[in-house]
Amino acid sequence: MPPEDGIDFQCHVCAADVDMNDKFCRNCGDRFFTPCIFCKSVVDRFSTPDKFCANCGSKRWPYVEHVWYDVFYRTPEYFLRVPVSITVAAGFIYFVFLRSKPAPIPPPEVHKSPLPNPAEWVPEVYKQTASVVNWFAKSMHLY
């Protein structure tokens, strides 16, 4: 937290000297104080992270406040989590949507030949069956 009585302090991002009355760093543009999203009371962004606003008692959401007041891209979380998230999302999109899929296997060709006329093959089957039966009967000495 910045010192009291208008004494200068250093910016947490670029370490430039900052006047106590400044709301933004004159060197890098970093915001020092963010208003509460609900009651708009000024809260020091770098003080001990409170879970609730001291003025209205509402729950504080640090990441929402960082995005809401456009300071998220200056936080360490931005440099650690955003590139990893983008890489994971790009890999997911590649593997799910853009990856080349193998060509489908075509179905086998089926050669449909017409069935033979039963008048042509039934007598032949009858003759072959009769010869087998005769052979069996002779080998068993049935007649």
Q: Is residue 115 part of a domain?
A: no
**Domain termination site, one of 81, 97, 113:** 97
- CA-based Rg of the chain, rounded to a whole angstrom? 43
| Number of domains comprising the chain | 2
Q: Write out pLDDT tens, residues 70-80.
A: 665 666 666 67
Q: Is residue 102 part of a domain?
A: no
Binned at pLDDT 50, 70 and 90, residue 67 comes out as low
CA-nearest of 34, 62, 35, 40 to 50 is 62
| Burial status of residue 25 (CB atoms within 10 A of its CB: 0-12, 13-18, 19 or more) | buried
Chain Cα centroid distance, residue 131 = 74
Based on the domain organization, do 12 and 57 belong to the same domain? no
Domain boundaries, position 92: 35-97
Q: Is residue 123 part of a domain?
A: no
Chain Cα centroid distance, residue 105 = 30
From CA 143, how far away is CA 140, in angstroms rounded? 8
Between the alpha carbon of residue 37 and those of residues 8, 42, 51, 56, 68, the distances in Å are 27, 10, 13, 10, 8
Cα dihedral sign for 39, 36, 52, 61?
Answer: positive
Based on the domain organization, do 22 and 42 belong to the same domain? no
Q: Is residue 121 part of a domain?
A: no
Q: Is residue 137 part of a domain?
A: no
- Average pLDDT of the chain is 76
pTM of the model: 0.35
Say if residue 107's pLDDT is above 70.
yes
Say if residue 55's pLDDT is above 50.
yes
Based on the domain organization, do 41 and 88 belong to the same domain? yes
Q: Is residue 132 part of a domain?
A: no
Q: Is residue 128 part of a domain?
A: no
**Domain termination site, one of 80, 97, 114:** 97
Between the alpha carbon of residue 125 and those of residues 11, 117, 139, the distances in Å are 103, 13, 21
Q: For every residue of 44-96, which 3-state class applies, written as one string?
A: ECCCCCCCECCCCCCECCHHHHHHHCCCHHHCHHHHHHHHHHHHHHHHHHHHH
